[in-house]
């Protein structure tokens, strides 16, 4: 036993991080367009105005995907390319771009996976209150309808949201991401609930409109890794805990309503009156069955059980391997993250992102050598394989990222790609890790 025969091997990107063409062909502004133009918000003072210029170079990029042997490609749609004002009239040129991209992918036999929302909210909707405005579920439903009607004849795999933990947590709790404000818990609860309401509406539309559709919801997870067999239940409990102060970044706050139709008891009792009124109809839509859970896992934390059975974090030892962005290398996070999720929710799991940032450069021989990334991917994939062998239902793995791109508040200072991008010339070079990944895909991971 190993990875299943139909295991999906892919790579992922997101619209704002690669497309550029931020104000071309009728595209409206997004909260990230506005945020990056404010001085001091982005580490290297950069923006996504041009990014990887993928909007104009998608054909070359799809050809590179083919060269890597990818079976699938996960990308997101920029909502303000489709609806410049978030609602109102549709921008046909935006539809055309994604139609062309989808056709190009299919011509190479690469299966498209669409993320509906990877953080670039139309700025016009932010001005109406963004996720705090209860009407946003209607707007999202309308947007999903247009996406489903235009692309659903060829695209069967959809992810409604990418990492609500991060776009609410970094964007509206910490303020380090767009829109860049710090809201209190009562507002945050309302925003989160509206994200889930929007998810529910999108699921309904997709089921009605797209034959044979497969729908997922993607979480950002930093799994707790038990130090020994005796620490497993403490790790599991900690990983799914949810209460005051941590609900935005938690797992169960988002996934329990979808899987079980109710928020975790602890969160309801903690906030009482501050919890937004939850409508029965909404809960029904939120908990409509989905087909898979997407997990973005880059790192994890080691824990042991304390005398009360609670997870206690054990910091990594001094000198423990870390990626350039500063995240601990914890390959076991892929094993425990997928296992804990599968045990709890009994749904197929896709790793929708995993990868490492490094400060890659072009060597004298003109190539990009990244043995550290190969080692990282190798170690993580071995853990994923072990999880599949131990019984978790793992449907696929998307490497983050297809190419170096705009890393949000870190700008272009971090490189996550298996394809190197020279931002001065927009030249692309497949890194050593890209060729390595190709070899793994060819053998369905048997050679790991
Ligand atoms: C994800 N964290 O974000 C996003 O989905 C990608 O757009 C992003 O480029 C990628 O991971 C790499 O950062 C994350 O703090 C942001 O643990 C922050 C965290 C994790 C994921």
DSSP state of 118: S
- 296 close to ligand 1 (CB < 6 Angstrom): yes
Q: How far is it, in rounded angstroms, from Cα 72 to Cα 310? A: 40
pLDDT for position 311: 98
- Ligand 1 atom 16: the closest Cα is on which residue? 166
Q: How far is the CA of 244 from the centre of ligand 1 (A)?
A: 23
Is 2 part of a structural domain of the chain? no
Is 3 part of a structural domain of the chain? no
- 220 close to ligand 1 (CB < 6 Angstrom): yes
Q: What is the DSSP string of 54-91?
A: HHHHHHHHHHHHHHHT-SEEEEE--HHHH-TTSSSS--
Q: What is the DSSP string of 313-373?
A: EEPPPTT--B-TTS-B--THHHHHHHHHHHHHH--EEEEEE----B-----TTS----HHH
Q: Maximum Cα–Cα distance for the chain, whole Å?
A: 64
Nearest to residue 384, comparing CAs of 322, 300, 289? Answer: 300
φ, ψ of residue 63 to 5 degrees: the values are -60, -40
- 406 close to ligand 1 (CB < 6 Angstrom): no
**β-strands 311-314, 348-353 pairing:** unpaired
Is 448 part of a structural domain of the chain? no
Q: How far is it, in rounded angstroms, from Cα 36 to Cα 27? A: 17
Is 278 part of a structural domain of the chain? yes
Q: How far is the CA of 417 from the centre of ligand 1 (A)?
A: 13
Q: How far is it, in rounded angstroms, from Cα 231 to Cα 268? A: 28
Q: What is the pTM of this model?
A: 0.98
**β-strands 348-353, 301-305 pairing:** unpaired
Q: Which atom of ligand 1 is nearest to the CA of 410?
A: 13
Helix, strand, or coil here: 285?
helix
pLDDT for position 374: 98
Burial (CB count <10 Å: 0-12, 13-18, 19+), residue 271: middle
Q: How far is the CA of 129 from the centre of ligand 1 (A)?
A: 24
pLDDT for position 401: 98
Q: Looking at the chain, how many residues does it have?
A: 448
- 407 close to ligand 1 (CB < 6 Angstrom): yes
62 and 104 in contact (C-beta within 8 Å)? yes
- Domain with 45, as residue range(s), is 8-442
- Ligand 1 atom 12: the closest Cα is on which residue? 407
- 120 close to ligand 1 (CB < 6 Angstrom): no
- Ligand 1 atom 21: the closest Cα is on which residue? 220
Is 447 part of a structural domain of the chain? no
Across-strand partners of 10?
A: 72, 398
- 330 close to ligand 1 (CB < 6 Angstrom): no
Q: How far is the CA of 403 from the centre of ligand 1 (A)?
A: 15
150 and 99 in contact (C-beta within 8 Å)? yes
What tokens does 87 get? 């609602």
CATH number reported for the structural domain that contains residue 289 in this entry: 3.20.20.80
- Ligand 1 atom 7: the closest Cα is on which residue? 14
Q: How far is it, in rounded angstroms, from Cα 352 to Cα 355? A: 10
Nearest to residue 360, comparing CAs of 321, 398, 325? Answer: 325
> Which residue in this structure is represented by tokens 């950069």?
46
Nearest to residue 236, comparing CAs of 350, 166, 351, 335? Answer: 335
Is 1 part of a structural domain of the chain? no
What tokens does 290 get? 């989905």
Helix, strand, or coil here: 405?
coil
- Ligand 1 atom 9: the closest Cα is on which residue? 407
Q: How far is it, in rounded angstroms, from Cα 389 to Cα 54? A: 37
pLDDT for position 270: 96
Task: Report the first-to-last Cα separation within the chain, whole angstroms.
Answer: 13
Q: How far is the CA of 407 from the centre of ligand 1 (A)?
A: 8
Pocket test for ligand 1, best of 250, 333, 398, 408 (most atoms within 8 A of CB): 408
- 104 close to ligand 1 (CB < 6 Angstrom): no
As annotated, the active-site residues are 163, 353
408 phi-psi bin (left φ>0, alpha ψ -120 to 50, beta other): left
Is 129 part of a structural domain of the chain? yes
Give the number of other CB atoms < 10 A from CB of residue 320.
Answer: 11
Give the number of domains in the chain.
1
Q: How far is the CA of 76 from the centre of ligand 1 (A)?
A: 14
pLDDT for position 1: 61
Q: How far is it, in rounded angstroms, from Cα 377 to Cα 363? A: 21
- Ligand 1 atom 8: the closest Cα is on which residue? 407
- 221 close to ligand 1 (CB < 6 Angstrom): no
φ, ψ of residue 133 to 5 degrees: the values are -85, 120
Print pLDDT tens along the chain (448 aa): 689 999 999 999 999 999 999 999 999 999 999 999 999 999 999 999 999 999 999 999 999 999 999 999 999 999 999 999 999 999 999 999 999 999 999 999 999 999 999 999 999 999 999 999 999 999 999 999 999 999 999 999 999 999 999 999 999 999 999 999 999 999 999 999 999 999 999 999 999 999 999 999 999 999 999 999 999 999 999 999 999 989 999 999 999 999 999 999 999 999 999 999 999 999 999 999 999 999 999 999 999 999 999 999 999 999 999 999 999 999 999 999 999 999 999 999 999 999 999 999 999 999 999 999 999 999 999 999 999 999 999 999 999 999 999 999 999 999 999 999 999 999 999 999 999 999 999 999 999 9
Helix, strand, or coil here: 122?
strand
Q: Which atom of ligand 1 is nearest to the CA of 401?
A: 9
């Amino acid at each position: 036993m190993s990875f299943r025969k139909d295991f999906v091997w892919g790579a992922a990107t997101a619209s704002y991080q690669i497309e550029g063409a931020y104000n071309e062909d009728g595209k409206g502004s997004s909260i990230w367009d506005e945020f990056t133009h404010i001085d001091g918000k982005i580490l290297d003072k950069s923006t996504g105005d041009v990014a990887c210029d993928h909007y104009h170079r998608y054909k070359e990029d799809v050809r590179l995907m083919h060269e890597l042997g990818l079976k699938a490609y996960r990308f997101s749609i920029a909502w303000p390319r489709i609806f410049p004002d978030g609602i109102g009239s549709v921008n046909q040129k935006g539809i055309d771009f994604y139609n062309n991209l989808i056709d190009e992918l299919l011509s190479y036999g690469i299966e498209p996976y669409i993320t509906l929302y990877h953080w670039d909210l139309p700025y016009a909707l932010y001005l109406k209150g963004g996720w705090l405005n209860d009407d946003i579920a209607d707007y999202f439903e309308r947007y999903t309808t247009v996406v489903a009607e235009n692309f659903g004849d060829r695209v069967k795999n959809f992810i409604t949201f990418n990492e609500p933990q991060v776009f609410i947590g970094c964007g509206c709790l910490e303020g380090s991401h767009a829109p860049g404000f710090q809201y209190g818990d009562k507002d945050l609860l309302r925003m989160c609930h509206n994200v889930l309401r929007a998810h529910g509406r999108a699921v309904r539309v997709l089921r009605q409109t797209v034959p044979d559709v497969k729908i997922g919801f993607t979480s950002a997870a930093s799994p707790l890794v038990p130090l020994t067999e005796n620490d497993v239940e403490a790790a599991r409990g900690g990983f799914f805990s949810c209460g005051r102060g941590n609900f935005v970044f938690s797992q169960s706050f988002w996934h329990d309503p979808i899987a079980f139709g109710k928020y975790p008891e602890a969160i309801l009792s903690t906030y009482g009156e501050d919890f937004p009124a939850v409508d029965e109809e909404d809960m029904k839509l939120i908990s409509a069955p989905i087909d898979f859970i997407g997990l973005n896992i880059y790192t994890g934390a080691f824990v042991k059980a304390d005398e009360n059975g609670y997870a206690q974090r054990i910091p990594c030892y001094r000198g423990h391997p870390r990626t350039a962005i500063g995240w601990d290398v914890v390959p076991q996070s892929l094993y425990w993250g997928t296992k804990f999720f599968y045990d709890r929710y009994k749904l197929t799991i896709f790793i929708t992102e995993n990868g490492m940032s490094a400060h890659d450069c072009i060597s004298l021989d003109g190539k990009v050598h990244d043995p550290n990334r190969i080692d990282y991917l190798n170690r993580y994939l071995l853990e994923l394989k072990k999880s599949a062998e131990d019984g978790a239902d793992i449907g696929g793995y998307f490497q983050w990222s297809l190419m170096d791109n705009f890393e949000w508040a870190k700008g272009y200072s971090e490189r996550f790609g298996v394809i190197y991008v020279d931002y001065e010339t927009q030249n692309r070079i497949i890194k050593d890790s890209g060729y390595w990944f190709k070899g793994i895909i060819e053998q369905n991971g048997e050679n790991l």
